[in-house]
Amino acid sequence: MSHHPFRRLQSELAEMINSLPAETRLPSEPTLAKQLGVSRATLREAMRSFEGQGMIRRRQGVGTFVVAKVPVMDTGLEVLESIETIAQRSGLTVRMSELQVQQVASDEGLAAVLNLKVGADLTRVARIIFTDQRPIAYLVDTLPMDILAVDELRSGFTGSVLDLLLRRGDPKLIQSRTEIKAIGATSEVARALQIQREDVLLQFAAQLYSEDSRVVDYSISYFLPGYFRFHVVRRVG
């Protein structure tokens, strides 16, 4: 299909989605494709872009729903901040759900990023971050057990390992190295964020360093693109 008809399809879909109240269930893909006179593959491609913008959300086995308009969390990447801090600045309320805290042994991959021996004791913290009723981020932190013990997360933890470490003040944190890429959602992440497997997400994989150059946290964060806008302010070299 040429770009012009595809743009027309996107325009028609945008008009339809914007005209419907939040939480309206859209017709099934075959019905909608027939209605708009396009193939299901073309429709799916257009729908994926609307999902990335946060305008619709698909729930496996249930259907596709219109999403209420939400303010986007707009933040610079120059300073490391928690989602809670960014949300507060954007006037949004976020909450944590489905907290899973486990003691795990480091495999080769984790041992390499945390500079530890294979088999070292680690604390793994996974949770989903919601705004209103929608999951918008899935966060997984893995830390050496001497930095954060499982018991420290039993009560009063609101979702941010970074904020917890900053409040505690020990170890003293100095910098983070983050790799950012677009990925297709794995089954685990798709289930957590109520999207389809392979839907596009932003993935941040970060190593957090203390002042003695030790990696004290390895975090992998998955963000729904439609709810976050990240930017970088750069000095001209």
Q: How confident is the model at residue 120 (pLDDT cuts 50, 70, 90)?
A: very high
Architecture of domain 73-231: 3-Layer(aba) Sandwich (3.40)
Q: How confident is the model at residue 3 (pLDDT cuts 50, 70, 90)?
A: low
- Residues 161, 217: contact at Cβ < 8 Å? yes
Write the pLDDT tens digit of every residue in 162-185: 999 999 999 999 999 999 999 989
Q: How confident is the model at residue 1 (pLDDT cuts 50, 70, 90)?
A: very low
Distances (CA, A) of 204 to 59, 138, 144, 156: 24, 11, 20, 25
CATH class of 3-66: mainly alpha
The 10 Å Cβ neighbour count of residue 2 is 6
Per-residue confidence (pLDDT) for residue 4, from 0 to 100:
66
Please compute the mean of the pLDDT values over residues 63-67 and round it to a whole number.
89
SS3 138: strand
What is the rounded (10 degree) CA torsion for 192, 198, 200, 202?
60
Closest CA to 218 of 97, 111, 83: 111
Q: How far apart are CA 14 and CA 30, in angstroms?
A: 18
Taking the domains of the chain in order of start, what are their residue ranges? Answer: 3-66, 73-231
Q: Is the pLDDT of residue 224 over 50?
A: yes
Distances (CA, A) of 63 to 10, 50, 211: 19, 15, 49
Per-residue confidence (pLDDT) for residue 2, from 0 to 100:
46
Q: Side by side, which strands form the sheet with 134-144?
A: 94-105, 121-131, 134-144, 215-223, 200-210, 173-184
Average pLDDT, the chain: 90
The structure's pTM equals 0.80
Please compute the mean of the pLDDT values over residues 70-90 and round it to a whole number.
88
Write the pLDDT tens digit of every residue in 89-116: 888 899 999 999 999 999 999 999 999 9
Sign, Cα dihedral of 181, 184, 186, 187: positive
